[in-house]
Amino acid sequence: MTFKPIKNICCIGAGYVGGPTMAVIAQKCPDIKVNVVDVNAQRIASWNDENLDNLPIYEPGLKEVISETRGKNLFFSTEIEKAIEEAEMIFISVNTPTKTYGKGKGMAADLKYVELCARKIAEVAKSDKIIVEKSTLPVRTAQAIKSILDNVGTGVKYHILSNPEFLAEGTAINDLHNSDRVLIGGDHTTPEGQAAMDALTHIYERWLPSERILQTNLWSSELSKLTANAFLAQRVSSINSISALCEATGANVEEVAQAIGSDSRIGDKFLKASVGFGGSCFQKDILNLVYICRSLNLKEVADYWEQVIIMNDYQKYRFADNIISTLYNTVTDKKITFFGWAFKKDTNDTRESAAIYVADYLLEDRANIFVYDPKVKTEQIYMDIDNMNTRSEQENRNSLFVINDPYKASKDAHAIAILTEWDEFKTYDWQIIYDQMKKPAFIFDGRNIIDSKKLADIGFKVYQIGKTV
Ligand code: UDX
Ligand code: UDX
């Protein structure tokens, strides 16, 4: 059986993954109509905003792709049912957060949105569909989706594929244009299953060389996504663990990273010591892996991966703790300025950002925190700190302030903490900042981006991760 070229795609979920991925598919396949739908009407309105600076997510290069495709073959709407009905291929790209209740609370992925999507598709589909899991899911979820779809008795045939995304925020468009690999999991064993995989392969082949498109069985594909994120996060936790040892011994973590990274077996990527990894994926996916292993009675395997999270938590609290102990064991009523709130540069995403945890810890010691981030909105910062549920919303507003100018944010500060590696922080006039701070003026660089010698020469007391400056 050969595949039929796809002419109409629908994507449920217009988030950080669905939005950019569909925009690039629309750009590279002008003959395919791509409908991106979402239950969140406000988000859809932002995707449709005339002013491209108001798109709901900030991602370098995204504006350009949207302006090229929107209204031509890329459409954003809330008409989920209509888009499902029209489509030959449906991507599920809704969020799958860690469960906050019931069985598997704090560990397992919450699949309720994915299940809702499957049920909605089952309810409205009148013709055969290829369903593509884009959301990161536990192994064997495709099976669950299939069982929901196959048991509605409408006679419609469904082929389920797993096509995990490997894009990193901040470089999403480039990652989509030049993917190292695309993974397509499906059922090789039937001609229909193979045809569905080939139909999706054909889409990616429009702009990627065939050898980068890997076909696997469904479960290998699902598990590869979790494993890829676990390996990446493990590298960050590994180097962060060594950063603590460097600080205790006088070794320099950057020199160590360079030395080990030059070994081609190790490689030089993902060895940047930091205040701790964040983002919507690393922690969630590892917790998921740990939960699956526990459920399968693989205790040692679960414990092994859980340690990556434990090390990351340690790194965040170690950084916060160092601020308190350096500021003479108290930050009560002191002004601490945060440069950066996003979980990494070039994104307005703050999910699991280390900044949230460091702020929460310092607020417990009654610090006054003044946050400046070039892209994150004030409401988001308050939502993040309120979601920690450590104190009342009013208390958070009495001691955490968001300021849209870095110089104003750092006036009269006792200390500056750099939480995100935004490039603009390197170009500030640090002499002006120093002159207007309380003395001694401390700077805690959680990303090792500033020129520590230059700042020390100005007079700053500088602390960086894994170094004794
Ligand atoms: C993605 C993936 O899908 C997730 O599995 C991965 O691990 C992290 O990244 P992301 O695009 O970042 O999620 O999530 P988000 O920005 O929250 O977007 C999801 C969208 O789905 C939201 O706009 C939400 O409104 C929408 N949604 C959710 C629906 O349209 N229907 C639902 O039933 C649930
Ligand atoms: C990650 C994966 O890279 C991507 O393939 C997957 O699809 C989704 O999850 P993302 O979370 O967007 O992408 O960002 P990533 O660049 O991986 O960074 C994750 C976190 O690790 C960030 O907080 C980053 O600052 C931190 N990090 C990364 C380090 O602290 N040191 C490093 O060397 C690299």
Query: Residues 9-54: pLDDT tens digits?
Result: 999 999 999 999 999 999 999 999 999 999 999 999 999 999 999 9
Ligand 2 centre to CA of 462 (Å) is 26
Name the residue with the closest Cα to ligand 2, atom 3. Answer: 168
Distance of CA 33 to the CA centre of its chain: 27
Ligand 2 centre to CA of 381 (Å) is 20
Ligand 2 centre to CA of 168 (Å) is 6
pLDDT at 143: 86
Tokens, residue 283: 């922690």
Closest ligand 2 atom number to CA of residue 270 = 33
**Protein residues with CB under 6 Å of any ligand 1 atom:** 12-18, 38-40, 43, 93-96, 113, 116-117, 134-136, 280-281
What is the number of H-type helices and E-type strands within the chain? Answer: 18, 14
CA-wise closest residue to 423 among 305, 340, 318 = 340
pLDDT at 301: 98
Q: Tell whether the model's pLDDT for residue 205 goes beyond 90.
A: yes
CA-wise closest residue to 201 among 191, 223, 216, 190 = 216
Burial class (CB in 10 A: 0-12, 13-18, 19+), 59: buried
The per-residue pLDDT of the chain, averaged, comes to 96
- The pairing of strands 182-186 and 213-217 is parallel
* 70 touches 35 (CB < 8 A): no
Q: Tell whether the model's pLDDT for residue 431 goes beyond 90.
A: yes
Report the b/e string of 112-144 with b at 16+ CB within 10 A: ebbeebbebbbeebeeebbbbbbbbbbbebbeb
Catalytic residues: 165, 225, 281
Pocket test for ligand 2, best of 238, 281, 423 (most atoms within 8 A of CB): 281
Closest ligand 2 atom number to CA of residue 17 = 7
Q: Which amino acid is present at 457?
A: D
- The pairing of strands 129-133 and 89-92 is parallel
Ligand 2 centre to CA of 269 (Å) is 11
Q: Please give the full DSSP string across 208-274, using - where no structure is assigned.
A: S-GGGEEEEEHHHHHHHHHHHHHHHHHHHHHHHHHHHHHHHHT--HHHHHHHHHTSTTT-STT----
In which band, very low, low, confident or very high, does the pLDDT at 4 lie, cut at 50, 70 and 90? confident
What does pTM read for this prediction? Answer: 0.95
Four-point Cα dihedral 14, 15, 17, 20, nearest 10:
60
Closest ligand 2 atom number to CA of residue 170 = 12
Tokens, residue 342: 């996003």
CB-ligand 2 contact for 165 (6 Å cutoff): yes
Q: Which amino acid is present at 356?
A: I
pLDDT at 1: 61
Ligand 1 centre to CA of 93 (Å) is 6
Burial class (CB in 10 A: 0-12, 13-18, 19+), 460: buried
Q: What share of the chain is helix, strand, coil (3-state, %, to 5)?
A: 45, 15, 40
pLDDT at 53: 94
